[in-house]
C-alpha cells in the first residue's frame, strides 16, 4: 500500500512529540524493500499516533477484515514505555476510540497480545489487560510478521484470529501464516460475555504507536489490509 492510502487518526501526538514517516535508515525485515515506516518519540508525553487506511470500501470496513504487517519494538532509550500495534474495528477516527488491537506488549521481553480497547492505551502488561497473550516472548529489536483477522458472523458474533509468519524462514512477501502459541481463536460474542462488551462489527483498520516516554521507537513494513465481503 502507498503512503497516500493512509490518513492520521485525530487527537494523536503531534510530530514535535513523536516523529514519524518513511525511512531507508533502518534495516527492513527478511524480504523487505528499501523503506519502512517508523515512529520515534521526542518527548516524554503519553499518548498515541495512528493511521487508518482511507481507501474506498475500507474507511470504514462495513464488516470484518484482515490486517497484516511486520512489526518491531525498535531499540530505544529504554525497554518499556511503548507498544506498536495493528487495529481492526476501530469505532472512530480518533486514537481515543476503541477497537481490536494486535501487537507487541509494553514489557521486556515482550509478548504478542490481543486486546480490545482504546488505541491510546496501547498494549499494557497489566494482568488481565489482554484477551490473548502469546506463550513466547521476544527481545527488543525483533521483527515479527503478524496478522489479525476479524470475521463478523450473521448472528453478530465476531471471531478474532491471530497468526504469525516466521521471518527467519519466510520473507515478508511470502508468509506462511501459523497460529500463535497461546493465542487461540476468540469469539467476541453477541451476548457480551467473553470480552465484557458488545462486539465491534465494523470499523477502521490501520496501525499505531502508543508511547509514554522519550526516545521510544517502533517500525512497520509490508502493511496489507483486506475486507470481508
Q: Is the pLDDT of residue 227 over 80?
A: yes
Which domain, by its residues, includes 148?
Answer: 3-227
Number of domains present in the structure of the chain? 1
Answer yes or no: is pLDDT of 4 > 90: no
Among 205, 222, 213, 223, residue whose Cα is nearest residue 40: 213
d(CA 90, CA 205): 7
Output the pLDDT for position 1: 58
Per-residue pLDDT tens for 57-66? 999 999 999 9
- pLDDT tens string 125-166: 999 999 999 999 999 999 999 999 999 999 999 999 999 999
The CATH number covering residue 78 comes to: 2.60.120.560
Torsion from C-alpha of 41, 24, 32, 166, nearest 10 degrees = -30
Residues in the chain: 229
Largest Cα span, the chain: 48
- Residues 6 or more apart whose CB falls under 8 angstroms from that of 62 comprise 202, 227
Residues 188-212 pLDDT 10s? 999 999 999 999 999 999 999 999 9
pLDDT at 3 over 80: no
Amino acid at each position: 500500500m502507498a503512503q497516500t492510502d493512509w490518513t492520521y487518526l485525530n487527537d494523536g501526538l503531534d510530530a514535535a512529540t513523536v516523529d514519524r514517516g518513511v525511512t531507508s535508515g533502518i534495516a527492513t525485515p527478511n524480504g523487505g524493500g528499501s523503506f519502512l515506516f517508523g515512529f520515534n518519540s521526542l518527548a516524554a508525553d503519553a499518548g498515541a499516533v495512528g493511521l487508518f487506511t482511507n481507501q474506498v470500501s475500507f474507511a470504514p470496513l462495513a464488516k470484518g477484515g484482515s490486517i497484516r504487517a511486520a512489526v518491531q519494538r525498535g531499540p530505544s532509550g529504554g525497554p518499556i514505555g511503548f507498544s506498536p500495534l495493528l487495529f481492526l474495528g476501530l469505532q472512530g477516527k480518533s486514537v481515543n476510540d476503541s477497537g481490536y488491537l494486535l501487537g507487541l506488549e509494553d514489557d521486556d521481553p515482550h509478548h504478542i497480545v490481543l486486546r480490545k480497547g482504546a488505541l491510546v492505551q496501547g498494549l499494557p502488561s497489566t494482568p488481565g489487560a489482554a484477551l490473548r497473550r502469546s506463550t513466547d516472548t521476544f527481545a527488543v529489536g525483533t521483527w515479527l510478521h503478524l496478522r489479525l483477522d476479524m470475521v463478523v458472523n450473521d448472528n453478530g458474533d465476531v471471531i478474532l484470529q491471530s497468526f504469525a509468519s516466521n521471518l527467519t524462514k519466510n520473507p515478508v512477501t511470502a508468509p506462511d501464516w501459523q497460529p500463535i502459541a497461546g493465542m487461540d481463536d476468540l469469539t467476541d460474542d453477541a451476548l457480551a460475555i467473553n470480552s465484557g462488551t458488545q462486539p465491534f462489527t465494523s470499523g477502521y483498520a490501520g496501525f499505531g504507536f502508543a508511547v509514554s516516554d522519550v526516545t521510544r521507537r517502533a517500525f512497520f513494513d509490508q502493511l496489507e489490509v483486506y475486507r470481508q465481503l
